A and B are shown apart, each in its own frame.
Chain A
Amino acid sequence: MSDVIANQSEPTQGRWWIGLFLVIAVLVAIRAGIGEGMGRVYVQTESTSYVSTEGEGGRVSWSAVPGVTEDSVTIDRDVFRTAGQYRAAEAAAPGQQAIRLSWDRTIGLWLAAFFTLAVFSFLAGDNPAYKLTESIVIGVSAGYWMVVAFWETLVPKLLAQLAPDLVKAWCMPNLEGGAFNPVALVPLGLGIMLLSQLTPLGRHVGRWPLAFVIGTFAGLKMVSHVESDIIEQVRATVLPLVVSSEDGSLAAWASLRNVLIVTGVLCTLAYFVFSVEHKGAVGRAARVGVWFLMITFGSAFGFTVMGRIALLAARFEFLFIDWLWLIDPKGERGMSVVAAVMQSG
């Protein structure tokens, strides 16, 4: 069947895709010139003033106040506004500045569209746009996880134990003033040993935190798997093979269901027993087990397809709704281009 699917020759392929990209670029340019255009993000600055009050134990708490006072602190935040809200504000007061175009978010939106198309371009084969995108996401992901681990775990759970006053003054003003906790030196020490693996000196010392992680993880997994996946799953399989209805008659479907589940589990387990040769009764049971497995894999395949298409739909929605402004299912802009075209037609 290798001839059923065949790529065209490379030069033809290259021309085909360059042509397609050009068509897309022209369509985007045309789309940008129609109606209200596309791909813009609006924001409004919300200013809130806060004043402090001292409560029990000298604890300071802040509350929002309507206006700016001498002792208040004001915080400005830019929040999203829709194109519809911008248009309404402009209609009410032309030239208003309350709701305005956000250049950084608009550039971000176009960049997001570029990244989306760049990843899709991999369908045509590896290319510089895809490679660039791939390189960026590797770096960003590693940096992102490090930052999250630092602010969400290392600061509140390690640094706040070791230097509570410093952390309170620096970034966690609501932290209760605690004392230095010497026990926190243990994970700090293990962590430093773990990081020493990056250096040639750390190869031996780096084994200890690794051994700690593996031992702890193995212990954790053993308890949970035995309890949840062996005991509880076996318990869920111990089902009555003959089920009676409330009136005492045979509940045929419920009985058949239970028989199928018990048979299915036993036969599939028989297939996984490799220390006994799959012959005779064991062989027949294993064969039935394979049928159950095939049905299981078929349902897994169906669900996997379902998941992938949902993700694809979400990306197309991003392109059509947020970037191209072709449709407006959320009612953020008042009228979609596709609807306008259809109505005019």
Chain B
Amino acid sequence: MSRSIALLICLVGGLTMLVSPFLPMATGWANEVTDWFNILAAMAFVLGGGSLLKVQLMRLSARGPGWGYSAVTLLAFVVTLWVGLGKVGVVADASAPAVAWSGKPDDEGSAFWWIYLYVMTPITSTLFAVLAFYVASAAFRAFRAKNLEATLLLVTAFIILLGRTFAGVVLTGWLPDWASGLRLENLAVTIMDVFNTAGNRAIIIGIALGVASTGIRLMLGLDRSYLGGDA
């Protein structure tokens, strides 16, 4: 019963979205349903937090290897929640200075803002920045012109890397106007405009066809994997 209701809900939700572009009177309904979807997405953040809490508490109680790090994660999570939900250090908004809770949680000077600026920002941005080192190392080890395909990839990468910096101007800026299409910066534009556009366009069309067929399978209940095995 639970499974049948779920399949019906899936079908109705999907159909509402599908018919709305064709039936103007269904637009309001589709917006209402999408709005519920968006609110559920906010609930999913809460679910994610709850799930993290559950997993870390289990690791902590099991006292397995690295349980100290679980304690750190839990502490960081709880402190962030407390200062954010409690608007610690937030002053009232200028539009309603008499209401203490009217300020935004991430206002400059608040504890939540402090966490954003001095904890979230440096860690997340450095985690991405470190990839520059790994890309360099991997390129040295694995980027080999072994055959025609690999050579094409490599030469394209060189043109983009040179053409998108001042190196392109220095190396090929001397070419006369009638050969300006061969300047590295112009070659980089041509690659993006012609070859990259064609290749990516085929990928995009292929993905779209896949999305459409998967959507139909889900709505018709042919793909039920999201319901779990024992449903």
Q: Which residues of A contact B (CB under 8 A)?
A: 1, 4-5, 48, 50, 52, 61-62, 64, 73, 75-80, 104-105, 108-109, 111-113, 115-116, 119-120, 122-123, 131-151, 153-154, 157-158, 170-174, 183, 186-187, 190-191, 194-195, 197-198, 203-205, 207-223, 225-230, 233-234, 236-237, 253, 257, 260-265, 268-269, 271-272, 289-306, 308-309, 311-312, 314-315, 318
Query: Among A135, A209, A264, A299, which residue has its beta carbon within 8 angstroms of that of B156?
Result: A299
Q: Please, which residues of chain B bring their CB within 8 A of the CB of A222?
A: 14, 17-18, 211-212, 215-216
A sample of 14 cross-chain residue pairs with beta-carbon separation below 8 angstroms, ordered by A number, consists of A77-B91, A115-B126, A138-B77, A140-B115, A198-B47, A212-B9, A219-B13, A222-B216, A234-B205, A261-B201, A263-B198, A265-B198, A268-B199, A302-B157
Tell me the nearest residue of chain A to B121, going by C-beta. A112
Q: Please, which residues of chain A bring their CB within 8 A of the CB of B211?
A: 221-222, 225
Query: Among B77, B128, B226, which residue has its beta carbon within 8 angstroms of that of A311?
Result: B128
Contact between chains at A305 and B161 (CB < 8 Å): yes
Contact between chains at A295 and B153 (CB < 8 Å): yes
Q: Please, which residues of chain A bring their CB within 8 A of the CB of B16?
A: 216, 219
Contact between chains at B198 and A143 (CB < 8 Å): no
Query: Among B45, B133, B231, which residue has its beta carbon within 8 angstroms of that of A145?
Result: B45
Contact between chains at A139 and B9 (CB < 8 Å): no
Q: Please, which residues of chain B bring their CB within 8 A of the CB of A263?
A: 198
Smallest Cβ distance from A112 to chain B, in angstroms? 4
Q: Mark B201-231, 1 if CB is under 8 A from A, else 0.
A: 1111111110110111011000000111001
Q: Mark B184-208, 1 if CB is under 8 A from A, else 0.
A: 0000000111111111111111111
Q: Does B167 contact A (CB under 8 A)?
A: no
Query: Among A141, A215, A253, A299, which residue has its beta carbon within 8 angstroms of that of B9?
Result: A215
Query: Among B6, B132, B152, B201, which residue has its beta carbon within 8 angstroms of that of A237?
Result: B201
Contact between chains at B13 and A293 (CB < 8 Å): no
Taken together as a complex, chains A and B put the C-alpha atoms of A220 and B212 apart, in Å, by 10
Q: Please, which residues of chain A bring their CB within 8 A of the CB of B23?
A: none
Q: Does B85 contact A (CB under 8 A)?
A: yes
Contact between chains at B228 and A139 (CB < 8 Å): no
Taken together as a complex, chains A and B put the C-alpha atoms of A169 and B203 apart, in Å, by 52
Q: What total of A-B pairs shows CB separation below 8 Å? A: 445
Query: Among B52, B133, B202, which residue has its beta carbon within 8 angstroms of that of A142?
Result: B52
**Known contacts A119-B127, A135-B69; is-contact A298 B160 (Cβ 8 Å):** yes
Tell me the nearest residue of chain B to A150, going by C-beta. B85
Where chain B touches its partner, the secondary structure class is helix
Query: Among B104, B118, B132, B231, which residue has its beta carbon within 8 angstroms of that of A309?
Result: B132
Query: Among B42, B72, B128, B131, which residue has its beta carbon within 8 angstroms of that of A149?
Result: B42
Q: Does B15 contact A (CB under 8 A)?
A: yes
Contact between chains at A308 and B3 (CB < 8 Å): no
Q: Which residues of B contact A (CB under 8 A)?
A: 2-3, 5-7, 9-18, 21, 32-52, 54, 56, 66, 69-70, 72-81, 84-85, 91-92, 94-99, 101-102, 104-105, 108-109, 112, 114-133, 135, 137, 139-141, 148-150, 152-161, 164, 181, 191-209, 211-212, 214-216, 218-219, 226-228, 231
Q: Please, which residues of chain B bring their CB within 8 A of the CB of A115?
A: 119, 122-123, 126
Contact between chains at A144 and B156 (CB < 8 Å): no
Taken together as a complex, chains A and B put the C-alpha atoms of A5 and B17 apart, in Å, by 53
Q: Please, which residues of chain A bring their CB within 8 A of the CB of B54?
A: 198
Where chain A touches its partner, the secondary structure class is helix
Contact between chains at A62 and B94 (CB < 8 Å): yes
The 5 closest A-B pairs by CB, nearest first: A264-B198, A219-B17, A302-B160, A298-B156, A143-B80
Q: Please, which residues of chain A bring their CB within 8 A of the CB of B104?
A: 151
Contact between chains at A212 and B10 (CB < 8 Å): yes
Contact between chains at B133 and A214 (CB < 8 Å): no
Taken together as a complex, chains A and B put the C-alpha atoms of A73 and B99 apart, in Å, by 10
Q: Please, which residues of chain B bring their CB within 8 A of the CB of A211?
A: 5-7, 9-10, 13, 226-227
Q: Please, which residues of chain A bring their CB within 8 A of the CB of B12?
A: 215
Tell me the nearest residue of chain A to B92, going by C-beta. A75
Taken together as a complex, chains A and B put the C-alpha atoms of A158 and B69 apart, in Å, by 35
Q: Please, which residues of chain B bring their CB within 8 A of the CB of A197?
A: 47
Query: Among A1, A134, A173, A225, which residue has its beta carbon within 8 angstroms of that of B208?
Result: A225
Smallest Cβ distance from A47 to chain B, in angstroms? 11
Q: Please, which residues of chain A bring their CB within 8 A of the CB of B98?
A: 52, 62, 73, 173
**Known contacts A143-B81, A299-B195; is-contact A265 B45 (Cβ 8 Å):** no
**Known contacts A135-B72, A210-B6; is-contact A142 B199 (Cβ 8 Å):** no
Contact between chains at A139 and B80 (CB < 8 Å): yes
Taken together as a complex, chains A and B put the C-alpha atoms of A233 and B93 apart, in Å, by 47
Taken together as a complex, chains A and B put the C-alpha atoms of A221 and B17 apart, in Å, by 9
